[in-house]
A and B are shown apart, each in its own frame.
Chain A
């Protein structure tokens, strides 16, 4: 029987989790904003110094300074929309911003040459990123507890409908991200880009897809494949989400790097691109490193999708007497699989590597999203028994 009281507690846990994620997101964003702020300050200082020197040499350059400051200010304002939520927090955490950088791998440290200075200034105090990381970890624990309570309340696996599927897979995304970034502290800088989509999904789940705790419909009963097939599907989805985050950052980073390079070639001493957001990107690993990470995530994801297909086919045969029937859900899982196969191919094909391959990875992700939204809600198929 369903324990409705416990289910209520589970729901409450999820709601609190959402609140915590909001706070963590603010923390991560504040961290990004503050580092980017610091970076612009550094650049500005360096530029001023440089220009002061040159002014010493040739007095005719006097007019140049105010002009440059103005330009730089403009660039900063340009990202305001991006960092809006964090703007308030950013001010507060300004000084504390990047203390953690000192502890990160050479990778991140190298990308912020003077991070150590800032780190030293902030040592001892809680940085925005540490705060966000701890908050996100706490939220994730609560998230997992919520999902587990739902499972206990219904006495079955917590993935029988879209609400449960969404809450469970976002828990997996967060757990995977946190585990990845325990050691590789440089990855924590990606926090905003992971918590953001997770939060969005959870809000959708909490508002649009929520359903009361209930028993399984007969079509989902009596089969251990519900554990295996859907667990693997959740893992695949989670990895696809992570992979898409990394792939899109890779694309942005590649553009950013190219632009900076062109500017540097054009003789600019302190090339600027995309203002503050550019500084955020400066903080992240290089596009090559992101590409390698994206590939690693996507290759695991592809293996998981392969098993999702195989286990799904085995279950379909047990349930409906055929292993494959081109049901809309099957069609879309097939499409996802084929697109990711194309991505892996693209990485080995001349002219497709790098950004174009990343584009394919994102196309795969679009198919994943389509599969869990439109296919579940609009298109009618055998899989739509799960209710919303």
Chain B
């Protein structure tokens, strides 16, 4: 500590060193600006850390080098740069289709961009948020954060127990400096009033005896640093809980047709993803039946562009959880079903036309509702695939569209409205080897027709079958297809993340810490009383000096200092007559708006 004596921060108890930012945006910053440098508990707040570890040091040795690197890593500059890098690195994650968000789009991009796509893929641009470079940035950031927090916690704890530091010998340089002469006042009484008043305003105070005076040194707003630490620690908490969730959570998709049921086990899922530490036996054994699915759409007659837009989706389910009775529930978008250990979200829907296929020998080879895949237009034109591997003499596939409100025109078969105004099936039939025995797993909603033979009519043209509900079509070879009715299906996501509530708790803790850290002003206030009857050099006049120092953005400080000074002088008067006019020191008189 080589600062000259008057610097308030170089007090002998040394605790001052730990104080938080005194950087203020105010013109009065002159004294506090210097103060900030030595007060900061934060490394590198104002300058690259300690002169001793400069890069030009000749022989650092291994230990020295590591120490140097560690200090660099935990410096504010590094944190700042890493934060900026993090922001920049996230950008491609929004510009390129991410595999984790929409694998189909990623594939499409790869197909369209050839070599360029491959290079991007190698570099991780389709999985930015799990790429090595993105991970490296945030891991470094969090290591830096932890390296930054730990010493600050120690320093702050010491700070909380320490007394406010010594009153600077010259107060004139500080914010709101006010000097009042109180002839005939009681010095000790003035000081006592000041002390009490500051304590009442929740300052930590200490009364100091000085050579020819006594002073109260008061401090408020240590909470600011506490809040800042809570904020940063909670950020680490968020990261840990997110990681915990990654390892233990699961998420799966199911499709359920009206009237059918689902019971929770791995085999029932269309797709299922889980973390490395997920335990499949932890799936809660609940069951449900989808009683009804309702959808409403904007009707004809409304504004052109909005006809067919969805208005609401509702799924009535009948849930059975172990140990509890049945419960009827309605799921909507934004209204998931929570049962112990999992939550179920309504995320999709579509049509499942009931179709019966008999082969030329008269055997029923396919029957019941077929889940169709909406192609994404407003009209719900949906793709239909029926595979009948048991058909004789040849395996049969039916491929086509289900149209809720069907039209067949030059665009081919499509649907113009999402609801069932004029439901139709438009299909072709294929015979041949479906390849189901090849051992390669197949998607139930797709079939490769290139190796199959289309059924043709006598002119050799492919037969296009068009059916309304209740109708039956018989092909020349005797295969019949009947359209028996339409059901709806709902698609649900089931997901559970045991850590998510802790993510929320940490995030809220961080937000609370942040608010405290930003809006609790940190300041010091000093009241010095000198002279009085005990001092014969001043003719019994008591001199009262009050000044403050903002340690953070604190526009109210000056006002508060002046109010305190006024209050002390009038209180002392007792008679209520206004005290002598205060003299204000040279500090902080620069008006805010003083441009040159």
Please report A residues at the B interface, Cβ cutoff 8 Å: 105-111, 186, 212, 214-215, 217-223, 225, 253, 256-257, 260-261, 264, 271, 281-282, 284-286, 288-289, 291-292, 295-296, 299, 302-303, 306-307, 309-310, 313-315, 317-328, 331-332, 334-335, 338-339, 341-342, 345-353, 360, 367, 375, 379-381
Contact = CB atoms under 8 A, between A and B. Distances in A.
Contact of B333 (A111, A218, A299, A375): A218
A257 B45 CA distance: 26
Contacts of A341: 83
A320 B347 CA distance: 7
A328 B45 contact: no
8 contacts: A219-B334, A306-B511, A318-B335, A331-B90, A339-B83, A349-B45, A350-B45, A379-B95
Contact of A348 (B29, B45, B128, B503): B45
Contact of A217 (B44, B45, B83, B309): B309
Interface stretch (B19-27, B386-394, B448-456, B562-570): B19-27
Given A217-B310, A264-B596, A321 B336 contact: yes
Contact of A106 (B44, B84, B591): B591
Given A111-B594, A291-B25, A349-B45, A303 B518 contact: yes
Contacts of B336: 318, 321
Contacts of B592: 105-107, 285-286, 288-289
A324 B504 CA distance: 12
Nearest to B333: A218
Contacts of B310: 217-218
Contacts of B312: 218, 221
Given A288-B25, A323-B500, A349-B44, A261 B80 contact: no
A286 B94 contact: no
Interface of A is mostly: helix
A291 B101 CA distance: 40
Nearest to A218: B333
B552 to A, nearest CB: 10
B188 interface: no
A49 to B, nearest CB: 19
A286 B98 contact: no
Given A106-B593, A306-B510, 10 more contacts: A110-B594, A186-B593, A214-B303, A331-B90, A331-B94, A338-B83, A347-B23, A350-B45, A350-B47, A380-B105
Contacts of A111: 591, 593-595
Contacts of A221: 312, 332-334
Interface of B: 21, 23-27, 29, 42, 44-48, 76-77, 79-80, 83-84, 86-87, 90-91, 93-95, 98, 100-101, 105, 128-129, 242, 251, 298, 303, 306, 309-313, 332-336, 343, 345, 347, 493-495, 497, 500, 503-504, 507-508, 510-511, 514-515, 518-519, 553, 555, 591-596
B27 A286 contact: yes
A16 B82 CA distance: 47
A172 B256 CA distance: 45
B594 A222 contact: no
Contact of B313 (A218, A299, A310, A335): A218
A186 B592 CA distance: 10
Nearest to B593: A107
A163 to B, nearest CB: 14
Contacts, number: 207
A348 B76 contact: yes
Residue with the greatest number of chain B CB neighbours at <10 A, chosen from A315, A322, A380:
A322
Residue with the greatest number of chain B CB neighbours at <10 A, chosen from A107, A256, A315:
A107
Contact of B87 (A107, A218, A342): A342
B101 to A, nearest CB: 6
B231 to A, nearest CB: 10
B458 to A, nearest CB: 47
A110 B529 CA distance: 34
B80 to A, nearest CB: 5
A286 B595 CA distance: 5
A345 B83 contact: yes
A334 B495 CA distance: 23
A352 to B, nearest CB: 7
B345 A320 contact: yes
Contact of A307 (B298, B333, B511): B511
B44 A350 contact: yes
A321 B510 CA distance: 23
A313 B495 CA distance: 15
